[in-house]
């Protein structure tokens, strides 16, 4: 990892207003959106590729249903008109979209993944990215998790959910690292 990354794409997953709703419950890493904004700003300065992923639920009662106000991007990561927006309706940003085709056609082999939420769309997209052969980096402090009810009824707090998910991804599907460790890998 001592060589700088060559033009990595920043993939920002589902940073949408729906995740601001209190219905999700306890959450960790409240600075995730700020970290994502800082990375987005850096990517814009370097003119690296940026891909915004937007979840569009097919369930009319979901806060991510197209007519619901929760479907829109949070202001802090609002895409610029020339930036790519890919819409999905399942957890993986690769299923039912042109994400893989876009990366290949633009000769992008390295991706940096950030967004919401760690155990769901971020994890699923990261796993597929690694399986598809992309050199994948997941920024640990630019994603967040909510507490979950386990299969056995036991409550799993958001820090546990976050850490276990990141641990399962690291060195198998991606390199998981905090933003401060990613920055030196970017070309000057």
Low pLDDT (below 50) residues in the chain = 1
Residue 22: predicted pLDDT: 85
Residue 55 lies in a domain: yes
Task: Give the residue numbers spanning the domain of 92.
Answer: 9-185
Place of tokens 């070309």: 187
In a domain, 4, yes or no: no
CATH number of the domain that residue 19 is part of? 3.40.50.850
The CA-CA-CA angle for residues 47, 37, 75, to 5°, reads: 110
Domain count, the chain: 1
Please indicate, yes or no, if residue 127 is contained in any of the structural domains: yes
Task: Decide: 113 and 134 in contact? Cβ < 8 Å.
Answer: no
What is the spatial distance between Cα 99 and Cα 124, in angstroms, rounded to a whole number?
Answer: 14
Q: How many CA atoms lie within 13 A of 167 on its CB side?
A: 6
pTM of the predicted protein model: 0.96
Instruction: Match 């202001």 to its residue by tokens.
Output: 75
Rounded distance between C-alpha atoms, residue 1 and residue 14, angstroms = 28
pLDDT for 21 equals 84
Has residue 2 been placed in a domain? no
Query: What is the pLDDT at residue 2?
Result: 56
**Predicted local confidence at residue 185, as pLDDT:** 94
């Amino acid at each position: 990892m001592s060589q700088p990354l060559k033009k990595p794409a920043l993939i920002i997953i589902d940073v949408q207003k729906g995740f601001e709703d209190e219905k999700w419950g306890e959450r960790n890493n409240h600075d995730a959106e700020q970290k994502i904004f800082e990375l987005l700003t850096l990517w814009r300065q370097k003119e690296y590729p940026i891909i915004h992923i937007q979840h569009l639920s097919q369930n009319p009662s979901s806060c991510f249903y197209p007519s619901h106000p929760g479907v829109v991007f949070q202001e802090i990561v609002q895409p610029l008109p020339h930036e790519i927006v890919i819409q999905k309706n399942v957890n993986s940003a690769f299923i039912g979209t042109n994400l893989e085709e876009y990366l290949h056609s633009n000769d992008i082999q390295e991706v940096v993944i950030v967004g919401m939420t760690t155990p769901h769309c971020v994890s699923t997209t990261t796993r597929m990215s690694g399986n598809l052969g992309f050199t994948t980096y997941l920024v640990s402090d630019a994603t967040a998790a909510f507490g979950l009810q386990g299969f056995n009824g036991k409550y799993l707090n958001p820090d546990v959910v976050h850490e276990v998910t990141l641990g399962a991804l690291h060195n198998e599907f991606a390199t998981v690292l905090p933003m401060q460790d990613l920055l030196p890998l970017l070309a000057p």
